C-alpha cells in the first residue's frame, strides 16, 4: 500500500477525488482553487520550449541528414491528415445516429452572446494564412516566450541544421545541448510532483463552476461524445496500435501518469515533455520523437476533431438548422483546415469551433453558447484522445523510418505475442 501511495498517478487520482468532493460540497471555496491548476500548467509550459529545443537539436544535429528530416516530416503530416479525416467522419456518423440536439428547438433570440464574445473575436484571426505566418517568430528569442510549439520547432530545426553542418567546431555546442537536455528533463520531473496540487485545483474549480448543472442539462451530448471518443480509441486507435505491434492497453498503462494529469488539467501541454521522454524510453528514436510529437500537438488533434464535428452538428440539430450531406461534406473539408489552427490558442477548440461556424455560414455562431458550460467536461475526453493519438503517431512514424528498438518496444508496450516471442 505504501508503494502505491508513492506513485504519482495514484496521488493525482486521489487529489482529483478530493477536488470533486470539494466542488460538490463547498463550491464557493472550490472556485478559489483555480490558481493551483493554473500555476501547475504555467510551470510546465515554462519548460516546453527548452525541452523541445534541446531534444530536436540533439536528435536532428546528431542525425546530420536534412533529407531524412524532410522525409520524417512528410510521413508524419501524411499520417496526421489521414487520422484527421478519419476522426471527422467518425464523429459525424456518430452524432447523426445519436442526434443529441434533436428536439431542443432552441430560440436564438433567447441566447446571450456576451459569454462567447471573446472567443468570437479570437476566431476572426484563425485564417490559414495567419496560422502559417504565426509559425515564424518575430525574433529568434521570441519563439521561446510565445505559447506556440511550432515556432520553437522551426528555430530548433534551423539551429540543428546549422549545428550539424558545423562539424568539429560545433561539437562543444552539441555536448552542451546534450547536458542541458538532461537538466531540463530533471526539472520537469521536479515540477511533476506538484501535479496532485494542480489536479486538485483544476478539478475542484471545474466541478464547482461547470459540473453538475451543465452535466444534467446537456447529458445527452456528453454521453454521445464520451461514447464517440471511447469507440474511436478502441476501433481507430486500436487498429493503429495493432498494426504497429503495440498493445493499446499496455500503452494506456505505460502512460497512466500522463493520462491522469491530462484528465485533471484538460491540457495535453502539461505532459508534452514527459510524453517525449517516455516514447524514447519505449524504443522510439529521439530525433523522430522530437519532430513528430511537437508537430502532432498542432496537426494531429484527433480528439479535437471529434469535438469540432460533434459540436457543430449538435448545434445545427439544437437550432433546427438543416445540414444535408453536401453541407456536412463541406464541413469536413473546412475542418480539415481550421482544426490545424488550434495550436497555442487559449480555449483552442472553442475558438476553432467559432471560426469554423463563422466561415461555414450555415450554423449560427451565437449558438455555441449552448456548449460553453460543458466545454471543459468535453475536454476531459478530447485531450485523452489527443494524447494517445500523438503517442501512436510517433510510434507509427518511427516504424516507417526503421527507427524503433523492437526489443525495447516489446518489453514496454508491445503486444503480448511479440513480447513472448522476444523473451
Q: Which residues pair with 284 in a beta bridge?
A: 404
Rounded CA gap, 155 and 53, in Å? 8
**Residue 63 above 80 pLDDT?**
no
Residue 47 CB burial class (10 angstroms; 0-12, 13-18, ≥19): middle
* Higher per-residue pLDDT: 397 or 420: 397
Rounded CA gap, 117 and 256, in Å? 37
Which pLDDT score, from 0 to 100, does residue 94 have?
96
* Higher per-residue pLDDT: 342 or 166: 166
Chain centre distance of CA 60: 24
Q: What is the mean pLDDT of residues 324-350?
A: 74
Of 179, 217, 265, 172, give the one whose Cα is nearest residue 370: 217
Q: CA 225, 92, 332 angle in degrees (round to 5)?
A: 125
**Residue 273 above 80 pLDDT?**
yes
Residue 136 phi/psi, 5-degree rounding, is -90, 115
Q: List the domain range (segments joined by +) for residue 57.
A: 2-422
Residue 269 sits in a domain of what CATH number?
1.10.3860.10
Q: What is the mean pLDDT of the chain?
A: 84
Which pLDDT score, from 0 to 100, does residue 62 have?
76
**Cell (9 digits) for 62:** 546528431
What length does the chain have? 423
Which pLDDT score, from 0 to 100, does residue 215 have?
56
Among 9-23, 36-50, 366-380, 407-421, the minimum mean pLDDT is found in 407-421
Which pLDDT score, from 0 to 100, does residue 419 have?
41
Q: Which residues contact 74 (CB under 8 A, 6 or more apart)?
A: none
Which pLDDT score, from 0 to 100, does residue 78 have?
94
Of 271, 43, 273, 52, give the one whose Cα is nearest residue 143: 52
Which pLDDT score, from 0 to 100, does residue 318 have?
87
Predicted confidence band of residue 253 (pLDDT cuts 50, 70, 90)? very high
Predicted confidence band of residue 73 (pLDDT cuts 50, 70, 90)? confident
The string of pLDDT tens digits covering residues 29-44 is 988 998 998 898 888 8
Q: What is the mean pLDDT of residues 187-197?
A: 90
Which pLDDT score, from 0 to 100, does residue 204 have?
87
Which pLDDT score, from 0 to 100, does residue 119 have?
52
Predicted confidence band of residue 211 (pLDDT cuts 50, 70, 90)? low
Which pLDDT score, from 0 to 100, does residue 359 have?
78
Q: What is the mean pLDDT of residues 165-169?
A: 86
The string of pLDDT tens digits covering residues 91-101 is 999 999 999 98
Rounded CA gap, 417 and 238, in Å? 16
Q: What is the mean pLDDT of residues 104-108?
A: 76
Q: Which residue has the cell 544535429?
A: 61
Residue 322 phi/psi, 5-degree rounding, is -70, 135
Rounded CA gap, 328 and 216, in Å? 28
* Higher per-residue pLDDT: 86 or 112: 86
Q: Supply the angle between the helices 286-299 and 375-401 in degrees, to the nearest 10.
A: 140
The string of pLDDT tens digits covering residues 274-321 is 999 999 999 999 989 988 998 888 888 899 999 999 999 999 998 888
* Higher per-residue pLDDT: 108 or 154: 154
**Cell (9 digits) for 105:** 428547438
**Residue 219 above 80 pLDDT?**
yes
The full DSSP string for 140-183 is TGGGGTSS-HHHHHHHHHHHHHHHHTTGGGGHHHHHHHHHHHHH
65 backbone φψ class: left, alpha, beta (φ>0; ψ -120 to 50): beta
Q: What is the mean pLDDT of residues 338-363?
A: 70
Total domains in the chain come to 1
Rounded CA gap, 236 and 248, in Å? 11
Given a contact cutoff of 8 angstroms between Cβ atoms, the answer to whether 56 and 291 are in contact is: yes
Residue 275 CB burial class (10 angstroms; 0-12, 13-18, ≥19): buried
Q: What is the mean pLDDT of residues 192-216?
A: 77
**Residue 353 above 50 pLDDT?**
yes
The full DSSP string for 346-400 is TTHHHHHHHHHHHHH-SS-GGGGHHHHTTHHHHHHHHHHHHHHHHHHHHHHHHHH
Q: What is the mean pLDDT of residues 392-404?
A: 94
* Higher per-residue pLDDT: 40 or 210: 40
Q: What is the mean pLDDT of residues 371-400?
A: 89
Q: Which residues pair with 404 in a beta bridge?
A: 284
* Higher per-residue pLDDT: 414 or 348: 414
3 state DSSP class of 414? strand
**Residue 344 above 50 pLDDT?**
no
Amino acid at each position: 500500500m505504501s508503494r502505491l501511495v508513492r506513485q504519482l498517478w495514484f496521488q493525482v487520482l486521489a487529489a482529483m477525488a478530493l477536488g470533486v468532493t470539494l466542488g460538490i460540497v463547498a463550491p464557493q471555496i472550490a472556485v478559489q482553487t483555480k490558481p493551483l491548476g493554473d500555476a501547475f500548467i504555467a510551470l510546465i509550459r515554462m519548460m516546453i520550449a527548452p525541452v523541445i529545443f534541446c531534444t530536436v537539436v540533439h536528435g536532428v544535429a546528431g542525425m546530420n541528414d536534412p533529407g531524412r528530416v524532410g522525409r520524417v516530416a512528410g510521413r508524419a503530416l501524411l499520417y496526421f491528415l489521414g487520422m484527421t479525416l478519419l476522426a471527422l467522419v467518425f464523429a459525424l456518423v456518430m452524432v447523426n445516429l445519436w442526434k443529441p440536439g434533436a428536439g431542443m428547438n432552441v430560440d436564438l433570440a433567447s441566447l446571450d452572446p456576451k459569454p462567447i464574445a471573446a472567443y468570437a473575436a479570437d476566431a476572426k484571426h484563425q485564417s490559414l494564412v495567419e496560422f502559417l505566418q504565426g509559425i515564424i517568430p518575430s525574433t529568434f528569442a521570441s519563439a521561446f516566450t510565445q505559447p506556440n510549439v511550432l515556432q520553437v520547432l522551426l528555430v530548433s530545426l534551423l539551429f540543428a541544421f546549422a549545428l550539424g553542418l558545423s562539424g568539429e567546431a560545433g561539437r562543444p555546442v552539441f555536448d552542451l545541448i546534450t547536458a542541458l537536455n538532461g537538466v531540463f528533463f530533471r526539472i520537469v520531473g521536479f515540477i511533476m510532483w506538484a501535479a496532485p496540487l494542480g489536479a486538485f485545483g483544476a478539478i475542484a474549480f471545474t466541478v464547482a463552476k461547470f459540473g453538475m448543472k451543465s452535466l444534467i442539462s446537456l447529458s445527452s451530448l456528453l454521453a454521445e461524445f464520451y461514447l464517440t471518443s471511447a469507440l474511436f480509441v478502441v476501433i481507430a486507435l486500436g487498429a493503429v496500435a495493432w498494426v504497429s505491434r503495440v498493445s493499446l492497453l499496455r500503452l494506456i498503462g505505460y502512460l497512466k501518469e500522463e493520462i491522469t494529469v491530462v484528465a485533471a488539467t484538460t491540457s495535453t501541454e502539461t505532459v508534452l515533455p514527459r510524453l517525449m521522454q517516455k516514447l524514447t524510453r519505449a524504443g522510439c528514436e529521439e530525433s523522430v520523437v522530437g519532430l513528430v510529437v511537437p508537430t502532432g500537438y498542432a496537426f494531429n488533434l484527433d480528439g479535437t476533431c471529434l469535438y469540432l464535428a460533434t459540436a457543430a452538428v449538435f448545434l445545427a440539430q439544437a437550432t433546427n438548422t438543416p445540414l444535408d450531406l453536401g453541407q456536412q461534406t463541406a464541413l469536413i473539408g473546412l475542418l480539415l483546415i481550421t482544426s490545424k489552427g488550434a495550436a497555442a490558442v487559449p480555449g483552442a477548440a472553442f475558438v476553432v469551433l467559432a471560426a469554423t461556424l463563422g466561415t461555414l455560414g450555415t450554423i449560427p455562431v451565437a449558438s455555441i453558447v449552448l456548449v460553453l458550460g460543458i466545454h471543459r467536461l468535453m475536454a476531459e475526453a478530447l485531450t485523452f484522445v489527443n494524447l494517445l493519438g500523438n503517442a501512436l503517431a510517433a510510434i507509427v512514424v518511427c516504424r516507417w523510418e526503421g527507427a524503433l528498438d523492437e526489443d525495447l518496444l516489446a518489453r514496454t508496450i508491445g503486444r503480448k505475442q511479440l513480447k513472448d516471442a522476444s523473451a
